[in-house]
Amino acid sequence: MHIKSDCWLDAVLVTFTFHLYVKLSSFLSLQSLLGHTVFALGFARVFELIFWVGSFKELADWNGSRLPGYIVLLSQLGHLIVMADFFFYYFMSISKGQPMELPTTYSGLV
């Protein structure tokens, strides 16, 4: 019940956030607002990882297997690894004082 209501609440809040972005886009760059939002969501994963590390022992299976805990921790670490690329470009744009801009091609990597 709580998970379902949380999903509905997230959907409603995203709708209000999108409406706010549309209203503010005349004053601020929409790409800049989305960059800050994605960074905040990605950085929240750091705190989620800290939470799951703290509650690792509670994730044991009924027979004592720690596999569920390892799966949760690996998924959290995997998400942070994926977000590391975005964090790099975010910090580069902040340090240069420029708006957030992601590369469109990876010509050197492919």
- % pLDDT > 90, the chain: 6
Residues across the chain: 110
**Residue 68 is assigned to a structural domain of this protein:** yes
Taking all residues of the chain, what is their mean pLDDT, rounded to a whole number?
A: 78
**Residue 11 is assigned to a structural domain of this protein:** no
The confidence band for 77, taking pLDDT boundaries of 50, 70 and 90, is: very high
Higher pLDDT: 28 or 48? It is 48
Rounded CA separation 37/39 (Å)? 5
**Residue 7 is assigned to a structural domain of this protein:** no
Say yes or no to pLDDT of 70 above 70: yes
**Residue 42 is assigned to a structural domain of this protein:** yes
Residue 78 confidence (pLDDT): 92
Number of domains in the chain: 1
Q: Which domain holds residue 85?
A: 28-96
**Residue 60 is assigned to a structural domain of this protein:** yes
**Residue 66 is assigned to a structural domain of this protein:** yes
Task: Give CA angle at 25 (20, 27), nearest 5°.
Answer: 110
pTM given for the model: 0.63
Higher pLDDT: 91 or 102? It is 91
- What average pLDDT does the segment 15-42 reach? 73
**Residue 3 is assigned to a structural domain of this protein:** no
Rounded CA separation 62/22 (Å)? 49
**Residue 77 is assigned to a structural domain of this protein:** yes
